[in-house]
Amino acid sequence: MNNKNFSQKEFSLHIKKLKLSTRNKVRSIISSDEDQAIKILNKLRKSSTPSELDQITKTILIAGNSEFKLPATFPDEPQTAENYRRLYTFSLDKQLANLDYLISRNIESLESFFEKLLELNTNIADENFFEADEIIYDLHKKFGYSHLLLRKSILITSNAPEDLLVKNSSKLVESSDLGNNNSIVSCLVHCFQEEQDFLSIKRSIMSTKKRGVWNRYTRDILRIPFHPHAKDDKDLSELIQSNLQSSLIDAIISAKVNQGFFTKTNYPELNKFLTIINNSALNINDIISGYTKYNDPEDLFYQQSSAWFENDEVIKFRLLLDHFYDTPDVDYFEINDVLINKITPSLAVSKIEDLYKDGIKLRLHDFEKLQELETNGTITRSSIFNLLIHLTQGKTNITEESLVKLMDVTRNLDKTINVEYVKTLAENSSSNLSKIIFYLLISKKSKNELNGNKLRRILQKRIIDFHDGKLVNFISEISKTSPSISIFTYDVCIEDFISRLSRIIKSSLEITETRASLHEWMGEHTGEKTYFDRARNLIVDHQINRVKDELDDHRIYADSTRFTEWMEDEINQSLHTLLLLMAHNDELTSFDEPQLITILEKCYYEFCTNKFFGIASYLGRRIRHGTFKGHLFSDVIAVEKRHQVLLQDPSSNKAWRKWKVEHENQIDSIVQDKLHIETSHKKHGFLNPHIKNSKKQEIAKACIKNILIDFKENGHIGNSLQLIVEYCWRITEVDLKNVGSYIKGQKQVFLNTDVLAEIKDNTNHETSRLAKDFSRDLQSQINEKISTMYGWFQRPQSVAPKVSLGLLYKAVVAEVSQTFSDFSPESNISPHDETEIMGGAYHVIYDALYVIIYNAAKHSKHKGKVERVFELQKINDSGAITITVSSQNKDSESDEYIRGRIKLSETDDIDNAQLCESRSGIRKLYHLQKYNRDFFLDRITCENRCVVVGISYRLVH
């Protein structure tokens, strides 16, 4: 007996209420270690009635056991951790019977709690947060801790004015281990904040790694704000048991939310008490009134609605949204007839076409405020859209006009649709635009290549017929009717997709320019500068690559810029949401977080296999398609030209022909089987696109560790994508080392010394020397080629945007020359131009040089000299690049005239210089100086009939 407050008399009174056989078992539970105690208790749970079980629990609690603990009905302390070992779970009937009995034994306390809860709710709805905060204190003091009370406290702290001290609510939240970023509490806090991505948070929470009974309680309590509904009887029994571990109050709420799973009259005390809760519940119109002041009332109410689960109307509202505003193929619910029959009686709309109409009633109820919230919002409408499609299995018609309008009054359909049903809608539609809309939704949800092909075919036809063959024209035009459709199109049309629009895209330059134009459109549409930056980066990198003659076309390569572009489109948001959640949960040291590993695996797979920017693309174009064989076969057998005398001998020639056939077969075998990304069809491919073996997993964990450290230090994911690029290469190196070793190991196979010996054996004294020379020459060729090819399968020296100053200058000149065809200043690269720049300097200097060179081409003397000087200067512990460009005046323009033209006046608008073209070059340089702390416009003058512009950029090292 380990309870310090143990009373032998009280214990004797309680244990005597048990059957004799049960008493001995209870004594064994009290005196045994935890494992043995649980084993005995589970047997008792299976055979005991609810009243017996209640008495057993009370007796154990009175005695106490340092090895074994049971949860209290009204706990004093917050239950936000796995404080108790999971016990045997009852069938649903027995679980409810047990709950029914517990209610009967605690009816007075429960009635008092919910009576006081109505007072709390009224004050919250009336925004009397100070009074509500005082009631939180009373409820906690009298009835202990519950997650219902925690949700009310977080609701108060979230919605109360910032200058109002709600100390009791804050204290309750803090005492629930918020300071240590407990996952249960921090997710609630995060969820209740305005403008959160509820679906992404829900997906993260519902994907919490399952560790069986060891984290069942955490998983069940975590899901309550996001998906409180049970999937089936077994799931409900587990939910009630988890909530009983928290508080009897929470178990009752869980049963109330899921009351459609059982006949309430079979459990009279539970049934009676649910009626009491309903009679004391706040009218939902009063609840909704507090949300009308927010930007998106429906969205915030949905996020915070778990604080109001004692209200039946809230439960009905959530039942629809939680099942049809979510991915339909998840494992935590099943859309079946039982569920449909629970939801459809409340529907006020039977046709999809009616959904977009202003002021239409969406659900059958008489609550004016709730109706207004649903009608003016987008989530309920989106849920009903998905429900109606489910009911018809997509076998219905939606007019083009209705569909276009619906896209702007719904949200996240690309995440919540049933792909197969929407595909049926698309196939049955006679409208080209409707088909495009449906397949845009499908393409965002599904990565099935066939769906993408259908979208490309239909989209290209419309673009050719109505938009001059320009994708950006289609997006610009459709945005006037439906901004949502234009954004869907932007999201889908990444470079890989654009590259396959073969009817409207004819070159790699058009691919880059088209995606850049989409970024620019998005920047204009949203007003966000980052989209303009992405457009610029694409164009600059393409221009650099056009003039980068020294690129080794044989090496393994992946296009980091385009890979980063893909990540920005595909994983950026989910990564950011996940890291925010992990920060809230103090899990930024969880290097084995499964969702982060999944994101990294997705990235690495794309890095390897993408046919547009991945290693697969370069492997096919640069190595497999002739280069490998040409290098190791054609170049090698060329030695025969130097040994014609020897090979004129019939015997030697026969052996040589045999050697060539076997050598070619060996190379063909490698090309056919090895020089591929490993797939089910190419099982011997040298590069495995998965992170499975221990070495790769170790590198992946290092990547995750660095992402988490960086996010913890900076609070954003600005560096995360570059870290992923870096570590994808490190993971790739595991396989690259193996292929390098393999190629080296093939040296003897390639030499095929047995056949070479036949040439030697067939020679006489006179030709023996010739045979030895031939053999040495052949071996030397093979050694040289293998040595060279070994370098092909090594990581490129630089995978970050990096370029020499001379090459950058040459790229700018090449780009300007496209506008001014007769502008051709000397741009050959000299040794002193080899200073390499990367990162921020890379793009800022490009922008500045473009302005300077463009102005020189436009305004200077025709075919006059354009000269440049690049210098490195040391400043304190760092350095700076200085660039000076001079160009000659036109013969008709004096120095004084030019100085007047290049002088910045007080009225010149520097801030908007990037948004206009007319006479904006000088202002753009000043704009760069103003908004880039490392860039300086040192001088701009006209002397001796030359315009001289000097700029500098401060370097880190």
Nearest to 287 by CA among 302, 268, 276: 302
The percentage of residues in the chain with a pLDDT greater than 90, rounded to a whole number, is 43
More confident residue, 439 or 654: 439
* pLDDT of the residue at 381: 97
pLDDT > 90? residue 101? yes
Confidence label for 754 from pLDDT (cuts 50, 70 and 90)? confident
Where does 630-719 have alpha helices with state H?
635-637, 644-647, 650-673, 694-714
Judgement on whether residues 538 and 672 belong to the same structural domain of the protein: no
Separation of alpha carbons 348 and 10, rounded Å:
59
Q: Say if 104 falls within a structural domain.
A: yes
Judgement on whether residues 644 and 711 belong to the same structural domain of the protein: yes
More confident residue, 555 or 768: 768
More confident residue, 799 or 390: 390
pLDDT > 50? residue 916? no
Element holding 279 (H helix, E strand): helix 268-280
In order of 371, 530, 539, the CA distances from 534 in angstroms are: 42, 6, 9
* pLDDT of the residue at 5: 54
Judgement on whether residues 695 and 836 belong to the same structural domain of the protein: no
Confidence label for 840 from pLDDT (cuts 50, 70 and 90)? low
Q: Which residues contact 438 (CB under 8 A, 6 or more apart)?
A: 422, 423, 425, 426, 429
Summarize pLDDT for 349-407 with one digit per residue, the tens: 999 989 988 889 999 999 999 999 999 999 999 999 999 999 999 999 899 999 999 99
Identity of the residue numbered 883:
I
Q: Say if 315 falls within a structural domain.
A: no
Q: Say if 309 falls within a structural domain.
A: no
* pLDDT of the residue at 798: 43
Summarize pLDDT for 8-22 with one digit per residue, the tens: 888 888 888 888 889
Judgement on whether residues 806 and 788 belong to the same structural domain of the protein: no
Q: Which residues contact 634 (CB under 8 A, 6 or more apart)?
A: none
* pLDDT of the residue at 799: 47
Judgement on whether residues 20 and 108 belong to the same structural domain of the protein: no
Judgement on whether residues 647 and 713 belong to the same structural domain of the protein: yes
Q: Say if 216 falls within a structural domain.
A: yes
* pLDDT of the residue at 548: 52
Can you tell me the mean pLDDT for 475-482?
95
Q: Say if 614 falls within a structural domain.
A: yes
Does the pTM exceed 0.85? no
Where does 446-528 have alpha helices with state H?
449-466, 471-481, 483-492, 495-498, 508-526
Burial class of residue 16 (count of CB atoms within 10 Å of its CB; 0-12, 13-18, 19+): exposed
Q: Which residues contact 902 (CB under 8 A, 6 or more apart)?
A: 922, 940, 941, 942, 947
3-class secondary-structure state, position 677: strand
Judgement on whether residues 722 and 810 belong to the same structural domain of the protein: no
pLDDT > 50? residue 915? no
Can you tell me the mean pLDDT for 754-779?
80
* pLDDT of the residue at 553: 46
Summarize pLDDT for 500-558 with one digit per residue, the tens: 898 999 887 888 899 999 999 999 999 888 788 788 777 777 776 666 544 344 567 77
Q: Say if 146 falls within a structural domain.
A: yes
pLDDT > 90? residue 949? yes
For the chain, what is the mean pLDDT?
A: 86
Output b/e per residue, 849-871; b: 16+ Cβ within 10 A.
Answer: bbbbbbbbbebbbeeeebebebe
Separation of alpha carbons 950 and 159, rounded Å:
55
Least confident of 171-185, 496-510, 736-750, 799-813: 799-813
Judgement on whether residues 740 and 859 belong to the same structural domain of the protein: no
Element holding 311 (H helix, E strand): none
Q: Which residues contact 792 (CB under 8 A, 6 or more apart)?
A: 554, 555, 556, 623
More confident residue, 85 or 284: 284
pLDDT > 60? residue 1? no
* pLDDT of the residue at 829: 56
Judgement on whether residues 479 and 519 belong to the same structural domain of the protein: yes
Confidence label for 559 from pLDDT (cuts 50, 70 and 90)? confident
Sheet holding 866-875, edge to edge: 866-875, 878-888, 946-955, 935-943
Judgement on whether residues 644 and 784 belong to the same structural domain of the protein: yes
CA 260 centroid distance within chain: 36
Can you tell me the mean pLDDT for 722-744?
87
- Residues 32, 35, 39: CA angle, nearest 5 degrees: 90
Element holding 873 (H helix, E strand): strand 866-875
What is the residue range of 816's domain?
Answer: 802-954
Tell me, what CATH number does 806's domain have? 3.30.565.10
More confident residue, 197 or 921: 197
Summarize pLDDT for 404-440 with one digit per residue, the tens: 999 999 999 999 999 999 999 999 999 999 999 999 9
Which of residues 232, 251, 280 is at a domain's end?
Answer: 280
Sign of the CA dihedral with 403 first, then 406, 408, and 411 last: negative
pLDDT > 90? residue 207? no
Which of residues 764, 792, 820 is at a domain's end?
Answer: 792
Which of residues 233, 259, 280 is at a domain's end?
Answer: 280
Q: Say if 880 falls within a structural domain.
A: yes
- Residues 629, 633, 636: CA angle, nearest 5 degrees: 140
Separation of alpha carbons 671 and 623, rounded Å:
9
CA 3 centroid distance within chain: 50
Judgement on whether residues 28 and 120 belong to the same structural domain of the protein: no
Q: Are strands 878-888 and 946-955 parallel, antiparallel or unpaired?
A: antiparallel
Q: Are strands 802-804 and 836-838 parallel, antiparallel or unpaired?
A: antiparallel
Judgement on whether residues 244 and 188 belong to the same structural domain of the protein: yes
Q: Into how many domains does the chain fold?
A: 5
Q: Say if 809 falls within a structural domain.
A: yes
Can you tell me the mean pLDDT for 462-476?
96
Asked if 883 and 868 count as a contact pair (C-beta separation under 8 A), the reply is yes
Separation of alpha carbons 417 and 854, rounded Å:
49
pLDDT > 70? residue 779? yes
Summarize pLDDT for 10-53 with one digit per residue, the tens: 888 888 888 888 998 989 888 888 889 889 999 999 999 999 99
Summarize pLDDT for 377-387 with one digit per residue, the tens: 999 999 999 99
